[in-house]
Structure 1
Amino acid sequence: MKIATLCFFLSALTVVNASVAQAETAKSSSEWTSLFNGKNLDGFDTFLGRYGPDRLNDDPQNIVSVQNGEIHIYKDTEQGAEAPFGYFVTQKEYSHYHLRFEYRWGEKKFAPRTNVVRDSGVIFHMVGPNKVWPRGVECQVQEKDTGDIFTVYGTQVTTTVDPKRKGSSPQFMEAKDGGVPLTQGSKGVTRIVKSTTEEKEGWNTVEIIVRGSDEFTHIVNGVVNNRGSDIRELDSNGEDWIPLKSGKILFQVEGAEVRYRNIEIKELPASK
């Protein structure tokens, strides 16, 4: 009887352990949350600068539309036409998270950017009023430039850069490879070029990992090509730099046809 009881107990324990493992696996896989439901723009607002400052969800030209599980920018706009700039932006603010999405360029370009590379971008920790290029830190999404860092109108970051590079825009280099510290930002816009070009034809996957004001990483098609730390913004007096810990996430509408899909987020534990 004792042996039988022991066998029953061990069998039950095995079942319990398996159930716990399955629950943990399910929990892990469910940590990703879809920001875009594939059907409509629930959870987002749209802003187009042509229609006035801080004016949301006014899109009579259908500049930002949803079709076939994708957010399609300028789908119905005629090639070469003068088109408004703006973005679609989360209604919620985020601080510590892992963002993942896919993008693919369309064929069309629009004035005044018909003769330059296709451009979009993701600004995270966006704060302040809605306007074209609001305050925040940008992960560039642009032909052959995806992963560049832009500090936009009153933000500042620290990174490590190639000490041998000459020119106006420093280039990210990992500290272990010889990169030297650089703190960069201004009341305008500054750029830190990615270390490698990872964009390919067709769909591309971009990940942005942000931990409050402490650090952030840009990953393009599985390769880290930029990172920074100590995210700051100018205070209300425009004099001192203070930590920028959170903000909204926006996807730019910037004169090029582009499609976005599978926009997901995994919120991370707050920094200790």
Structure 2
Amino acid sequence: MRYSCSIALVSLISFAHVHAEDAWKSLWNGRDLSEWSTWLGRPDPASDVPGMPKGDNGKYVDVLGPARDPLRVFTVVEVDGQKAIRVSGEVFGELRSHESLQNYRLRLQFKWGQLKWPPRNKPETARDSGLLYHVHSAPGAEDRTWARSVELQIQEHDVGDLYAIGSEISVRSTPRKDGEHTLFDYDPQGEFHVFSQVPGQDGRCVKQPDNEKPNPEWNTVEIVCFGEDSLHIVNGKVVMRLHAPRRIDQPEHPPVTEGPVILQSEGAEIFYRNVEYLPITALPPEFMTASAATPSEQDASPPALMGSMIFDWTQLPVKKSAKGESRQVCRAPTATLDELECHVTTLNVGEEAHRAHQHPDEELIIVKEGTVEALVNGELKIVGPGSVIFQAANQLHHIRNAGDTPATYHVIKWNSPGMLKKKP
């Protein structure tokens, strides 16, 4: 009997320990904002802030700053029978968690309110907010409204997008033209591009697919952060996988994998509830690439190994674009590699293949004809036909046609065994 009791006690302790590890923890206590701090920027002239001076131009002179919220931008209210954080949106600013998080899942629900405020109060202007993570600058530092961080965008029609705010992060993506601008759509099969919201770049990558529920329904968003990988999840579906977040306010651009989170006030009323997190020791299996695949993808047989063969130049399909053209040669596993990929790019005069980016793959570039400018080890080099360029793993690089005729080059990339499984 004593032996049976001991077994039962050990089982109970083990069960409790496992479930304690699996238990989500509240990041917001559901009562007040005592576990969060506030910082607010300069109010719009249309807002009435008693005792706050305005200049001769009618605009407020100073920001409201930390722990000063006379307009009650951040409050706790009851919505749909449950306590929620109300963010009025009247002044741009932040609600920042005291808790700093690393290796975790964080999820919350949000719902749009009715109010919109200048300068974002036009009927056609989308309601906007955001969930910032890996936050690594103080409130208002460097005269910034938004702290250096990575943002899961919360904006009507754009929930799940990336903005790399004063930071940089890599995402597999594919460019497309949108009028005079180039947008990048998340594409699990695309090349890695580096995103950074700095002068001249918006730092945005567009989520895929769109899994947002329409206003006024509640949406659930989740971020999963483990090591240098992170996921954006909207209503249970992975809409973006991100890799290698970096600080760009330090010379060596070190990784940034922890920090508090921020809920933005950005011109629109919004409600947040059920803000909770879960410490993790690995990426959740249900969100791994294979588990996230469609049933048809899961049932598909592994691709056949590529054997010896000839790729006839005249038979390679040509894909034309405004920048030039490309030819896909191969992309398949071999006897010694998880994947061997080769393509040929032709760039028109003055065009570049992509913005400076980095990826885990090593690659060889062999210049066939023309003159190219390549970024290698932080330096720009100009080379001509027959030249070979090697780009090491995770090194920032780009290539541009620097001549007065079209430039054509071969790109050869490979993934050693196990590399594809490690990629987001």
Residue identity opposite 2:12 in structure 1: S
Shift of 1:244: 1.6
Query: What SS does structure 2 have at the residue aligned with 1:26?
Result: helix
1:210 aligns with 2:225: yes
> For residues 109-133 of structure 1, what are the alpha-carbon distances to aligned partners after superposition, in whole Å with 9 as ceiling and x for unaligned?
1111112010000111112231311
Query: What SS does structure 2 have at the residue aligned with 1:129?
Result: coil
Tell me the equivalent position of 2:99: 92
Tell me the equivalent position of 2:187: 173
Tell me the equivalent position of 1:185: 196
Structure 2 CA distance for partners of 1:139 and 1:104, relative to 1, 3 Å: same
Tell me the equivalent position of 1:38: 30
Shift of 1:156: 0.7
> What pairs up with 1:248-263 in 2 under 5 angstroms?
248-263=260-275
Quote the Cα distance in structure 2 between the aligned partners of 1:258 and 1:222: 21
Residue identity opposite 1:144 in structure 2: H
Structure 2 unmatched ranges of 5 or more: 44-61, 284-424
Query: What SS does structure 2 have at the residue aligned with 1:162?
Result: strand
Does the 8 Å contact 2:105/2:278 carry over to 1? yes
Select the residue among 237, 243, 268 that pairs with 1:223.
237
Q: What is the aligned length?
A: 248
Does the 8 Å contact 2:197/2:204 carry over to 1? no
Does the 8 Å contact 1:54/1:129 carry over to 2? no
List, as ranges, runs of 4+ consecutive aligned residues in structure 1 with deviation greater than 3 Å: 8-14, 51-54
Residue identity opposite 2:8 in structure 1: V
Shift of 1:181: 1.7
Shift of 1:270: 8.5
Residue identity opposite 1:194 in structure 2: K
Select the residue among 135, 139, 148 that pairs with 1:130.
139
Does the 8 Å contact 2:163/2:197 carry over to 1? no
> For residues 71-105 of structure 1, what are the alpha-carbon distances to aligned partners after superposition, in whole Å with 9 as ceiling and x for unaligned?
0111xx8xxxxx31101001232222111100000
Query: What SS does structure 2 have at the residue aligned with 1:27?
Result: helix
Query: What SS does structure 1 have at the residue aligned with 2:242?
Result: strand
Tell me the equivalent position of 2:320: none
Does the 8 Å contact 2:22/2:278 carry over to 1? no
1:109 aligns with 2:116: yes
Ranked by relative contact order (alpha carbons within 8 Å, sequence separation 6 or more), the top structure is: 1
Quote the Cα distance in structure 2 between the aligned partners of 1:159 and 1:196: 15
Residue identity opposite 1:65 in structure 2: T
> What pairs up with 1:47-58 in 2 under 5 angstroms?
47-50=39-42, 52=62, 55-58=65-68
> For residues 163-184 of structure 1, what are the alpha-carbon distances to aligned partners after superposition, in whole Å with 9 as ceiling and x for unaligned?
6x3342201011xxx2222122
Tell me the equivalent position of 1:60: 70
Select the residue among 120, 123, 127 that pairs with 1:118.
127
Residue identity opposite 1:255 in structure 2: G
Residue identity opposite 1:208 in structure 2: I
Residue identity opposite 1:197 in structure 2: D
Quote the Cα distance in structure 2 between the aligned partners of 1:125 and 1:161: 21
Q: Which one has the largest radius of gyration?
A: 2
Quote the Cα distance in structure 1 between the aligned partners of 2:235 and 2:263: 18
Q: Compare 122-131 and 59-68 and name the one that shifted more.
A: 122-131
Does the 8 Å contact 1:39/1:67 carry over to 2? no
Does the 8 Å contact 1:54/1:130 carry over to 2? no
Tell me the equivalent position of 1:156: 168
